[in-house]
Structures are given as structure tokens and as C-alpha cells.
A = this chain, B = another copy of it.
Amino acid sequence: MTIQQPQTRIQKKNREAILDAALGVFSDHGFRGATLDQIASAAGLSKPNVLYYFASKEAIYTALLSGLLETWLDPLRAIDPDGEPVDEILGYVMRKLQMSREYPRESRLFANEIVQGAPRILDQIEGPLKELVDRTAGLFLGWMDDGRLARLDPHHLVFSIWATTQHYADFSAQVTSILQTEGDAHIDQAETFLRDFYRRALLPDSP
């Protein structure tokens, strides 16, 4: 049982409206490029009222980032150590790709932040994220030792999955411009490609 901040229903609703609006604005324009005006009007509130709920623009931003980080790591946690290695990893790839489809704004939010040196989130990266990745890398190493997974640097394997899947959210402007696709179509194609691609790369050589 945790102590609850006394929050009326309307407060909760408004905080969520602000965070949702901020997600759209920050992911489109980055931290500096976003303005409180944009956020306020997207949230349907007045600017001072936004600052009633959050102390500052930066407070909105960090609240957003830390609130999302958990969700962001869920697919990684869902890897089953007792599962079939290649299937588990392919499943992870697909879940990550699915997130690019369903939560492109979140992906671009992180992308913006990290490209600019992660000034406001580095702590959380160095803490829980690193630990989780290290643990996963250990799991992969074990699978490789057992000969059930091709031998590759496990950390960089994770990076490659992040890179290839988030690419479809973060760089969608470029991807759709080259493919001339509409809506989600490029991600449908990516699904097939990435499944083939990773299966080939990950299947251990037959003895």
C-alpha cells in the first residue's frame, strides 16, 4: 500500500492530457523546439494552468521520459530464459517493431533526447537500463555457449535490434519518402524483412 497523493479525477485527467499533448509536441520538435503554448493548446488548457500541474517545461519533459522508460523496456523483460533462443529473440524483434508502429511518438521522443546527448535521461540509462541489458546479454551468452544461438557479441546484438526496429519510427520521414508508402505499409514490409534477416543471422551453424 503506497501513500497516494490526493488527486481528484479532474487533476488526473488534466495531467494525462498535458503529458499526451507534450508527447506529441516534444517528439515533433525536440525539447527546445517545443513551446508551452503548443502543449497548452494541444491539451486544451491555458498556459498558466499547465504550469499549475507541472512546475516547468522541463518538469513536463522529465515526467514524460521517466514515465515512459518502464514501458519502453517491457519487451526486453518479456524474453523468456526458458524459451527457444532464436524464437525468443525473433519475438523480441517483433515486439520492438510493433512498438515502432504503435508508439512512434515515444520512440522519437527518446531518439531526440539521445541524439542530443541524453542530457536529461543519462542517469536512468546508466542505471536500470544498463543493468537490464547486461542481464539479457548474459542470457544470450549462455544460449551461445549451449550452441543454440549463433555466436555474436550479445550487447551489440541488442543494439542492432534497437537500431533496426526503431529506425522505422525515428526515421520514418526518410523511409516513407524513399519507399513512397503510405501509413503503416513500410512496417508491414519491415516485419517480413526483419524476421528473415534475424533468423539467418541468429541460427547457429549446424554442427
Contacts and interface: CB of A to CB of B under 8 A. Distances in A.
Interface of A: 28-33, 108, 111-112, 114-118, 122, 125-126, 129-130, 133-134, 150-153, 155-157, 159-160, 162-164, 166-168, 170-171, 173-175, 177-180, 189-190, 192-194, 196-198, 200-202
Interface of A is mostly: helix
Contacts of A115: 108, 111-112, 115, 170-171
Contacts of A177: 118, 122, 125-126, 130
A24 to B, nearest CB: 12
Contacts of A201: 197-198, 200-201
A29 B32 contact: yes
Nearest to A111: B115
Contacts of A153: 189, 192-193
7 contacts: A108-B116, A155-B178, A156-B190, A157-B193, A157-B197, A160-B167, A200-B202
Task: Report which residue of A118, A129, A167, A202 has the largest number of chain B beta carbons within 10 angstroms of its beta carbon.
Answer: A167
Contacts of A164: 159-160, 163-164
A178 B130 contact: yes
B33 A173 contact: no
A156 B165 CA distance: 11
A55 to B, nearest CB: 13
